[in-house]
């Protein structure tokens, strides 16, 4: 007798539920900050037990897509909430002092994507892109100089004015005004010497060692939607990382 071979396509039920939940998130059925239906209700909708829904939500919660609050409900994570506002910025004061950032936007232009940016964003060289340059200040001192590239199609109408007017983190603006939510990012860190321009903005001598932080951010489906090239001044601050 021939056996039915185990199909490579086997997927646990809770994984399928997880996929369905992610689709609802991506489609905007539940928006950032909103509460999603109760576990029991989702169990009814999907015709599975509560435990199965629970496991799916557990994973989405571990991936920072959902936030559980006992007694209240489960909510769609948002970059506008303090909990995850500066989740991607790993800069810390050397002595543990609280850090309050201030943004200063230097430039916001619509350009054609250069080759390296196009590659990271999975565009064609020359496609429309938006380039933002800004300075992050701590207590009035410039600390980070960022050059940010976004796909032009996703961020039509983004201007320096809108950036400057918005209260809260930039990723909060991106998710509420442009429907693009940053979920995860990869960073490549190097030590480099400050060039003339970075030196000018960061008020240091050219040649001063700076941290070069190149970030590619992804939204749902692992789609790259932002490239960011940062220069960090690390005399009084450092990039903090936890290894598990």
Residues that bind its own copies (CB under 8 A): 62-64, 87-88, 90, 92, 94, 184-193, 207, 209-212, 215, 232, 234, 238-244
Tokens of 87: 């989740």
Told to check if 70 binds DNA by CB under 7 A, we report yes
User: Per residue in 158-194, is it b (16+ CB within 10 Å) or e — as a string?
Assistant: beeeebeeeeebbbbbbbbeeebbbbeeeeeeeeeeb
Contact partner, 126, from its own copies, DNA, none, Cβ < 5-8 Å per class:
none
What whole-number distance in Å separates Cα of residue 101 and Cα of residue 85?
Answer: 12
x-or-dash string of contact with DNA, 75-114, rule CB under 7 A: ----------------------------------------
What whole-number distance in Å separates Cα of residue 4 and Cα of residue 162?
Answer: 59
What whole-number distance in Å separates Cα of residue 227 and Cα of residue 67?
Answer: 26
Out of 74, 80, 180, 219, point to the residue binding DNA (CB under 7 A).
Answer: 74
From 64-72, 110-118, 137-145, 167-175, give the range in contact with DNA by CB under 7 A. Answer: 64-72
Told to check if 223 binds DNA by CB under 7 A, we report no
Out of 9, 27, 72, 244, point to the residue binding DNA (CB under 7 A).
Answer: 72
Told to check if 23 binds DNA by CB under 7 A, we report no
- CB atoms under 10 Å from CB of 138, counted, come to 18
Cβ(179)–Cβ(28) below 8 Å: yes
> Residue holding tokens 């201030």?
102
Task: Report, in Å, the least distance between residue 35 CB and its own copies.
Answer: 22
Query: By C-beta, is 77 or 108 nearer to its own copies?
Result: 77
Task: Report, in Å, the least distance between residue 214 CB and its own copies.
Answer: 8
Task: Report, in Å, the least distance between residue 11 CB and DNA.
Answer: 8
What whole-number distance in Å separates Cα of residue 158 and Cα of residue 3?
Answer: 59
CA angle, 188 as apex, 166 and 140 as ends, to 5°? 40
Contact partner, 174, from its own copies, DNA, none, Cβ < 5-8 Å per class:
none
Q: Which residues bind DNA (CB under 7 A)?
A: 6, 10, 12-15, 36, 38-41, 48-52, 54-55, 68-74
């Amino acid at each position: 007798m021939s056996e039915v071979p185990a199909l490579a396509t086997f997927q646990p039920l809770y994984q399928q539920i997880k996929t369905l939940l992610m689709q609802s998130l991506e489609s905007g059925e539940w928006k950032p900050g909103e509460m999603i239906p109760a576990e029991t209700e989702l169990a009814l909708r999907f015709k599975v037990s509560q435990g199965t829904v629970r496991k799916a939500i557990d994973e989405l919660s571990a991936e920072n897509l959902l936030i559980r609050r006992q007694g209240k409900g489960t909510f769609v994570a948002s970059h506008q909430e303090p909990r995850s506002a500066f989740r991607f910025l790993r800069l810390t004061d050397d002595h543990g002092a609280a850090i309050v950032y201030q943004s200063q936007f230097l430039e916001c232009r619509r350009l054609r994507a250069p080759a390296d940016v196009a590659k990271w964003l999975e565009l064609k060289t020359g496609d429309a892109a938006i380039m933002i340059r800004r300075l992050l200040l701590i207590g009035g001192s410039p600390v980070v100089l960022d050059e940010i590239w976004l796909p032009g199609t996703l961020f039509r109408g983004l201007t320096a004015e809108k950036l400057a007017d918005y209260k809260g983190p930039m990723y909060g603006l991106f998710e509420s005004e442009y429907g693009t939510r940053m979920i995860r990012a990869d960073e490549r860190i190097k030590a480099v010497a400050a060039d003339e321009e970075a030196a000018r903005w960061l008020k240091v001598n050219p040649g001063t060692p700076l941290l070069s932080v190149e970030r590619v951010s992804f939204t749902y489906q692992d789609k790259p939607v932002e490239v960011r090239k940062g220069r960090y001044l690390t005399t009084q601050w450092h990039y903090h990382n936890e290894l598990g």
